Amino acid sequence: MDSLIASFLTLILTETGDRTQLLAAALAIRFASNRPVILGLAVASLINCLISAYAGSFIDQWVSQDPVRLFNGLAYLLAGAAMLAWRRPVDLLKGWKTGPFLTAFLGIFILQFGDKGQFIIGANAARADHWLFPAIGGWLGTLVAVVPAILLKERLAKILPISKIRIGGGVALCLLGLIHALKAWHII
């Protein structure tokens, strides 16, 4: 259950102001329809979360606890660094001739595949009792972070201090990752 909460909170943090949130809001504006974009987001994120958690569950079977803790620390450290780093602009998929659901589903699925959220979920799954808990937590965290961007669109940036959230969250995740890595090396 801890892995569900950890994935939930971490994905809310990492998706705030991230490219998934920006793309989803842009697609809601482009198609002037929230429901198919939310549905595309939900399905794409669920599939990505299930893939990453299931893959992460195999790591625990192959290696001892210290490398799993190191993997967890590195996932958090790199996610924090990614939150602090410059981000390239989001492709708004204007050339895609598909409808709102398919554009949202494929665009978000591709954007999230191999992203920091997948590594966080995979790392949490490697330490979890069951891989489904971090998958559900990550999926719900993504929805909590991105659905308001779809509903509020550009107003979200006025409501939330997104740059401060990204800086604070990035620093917090880097520190958490460093602590896990140092524990894996038995330094602390």
CA distances from 138 to 60, 94, 98, 99, 185 (A): 19, 28, 27, 26, 27
Rounded-to-5 percentages of helix, strand, coil across the chain: 80, 0, 20
- Which band of pLDDT confidence, cut at 50, 70 and 90, is reported for residue 61? confident
Q: Compute the average pLDDT of residues 31-57.
A: 95
Taking residues 50-74, report their average pLDDT. 87
Domain ranges of the chain: 2-184
Q: How confident is the model at residue 103 (pLDDT cuts 50, 70, 90)?
A: very high
Q: Calculate the dihedral angle through the C-alpha atoms of 100, 15, 6, 79, rounding to the nearest 10 degrees.
A: 130
* Percent of the chain scoring above 90 in pLDDT: 68
Query: Is the distance from CB of 158 to CB of 45 less than 8 angstroms?
Result: no
Angstrom CA distances, 42 to 20, 55, 93, 144, 166, stand at 12, 20, 18, 11, 23
pLDDT for 53 equals 95
Range from 61-70, 103-112, 132-141 carrying the lowest mean pLDDT: 61-70
Which pLDDT score is estimated for 169? Answer: 93
Question: What is the value of pTM for the model shown?
Answer: 0.91
Contact 10, 79 (CB under 8 A): yes
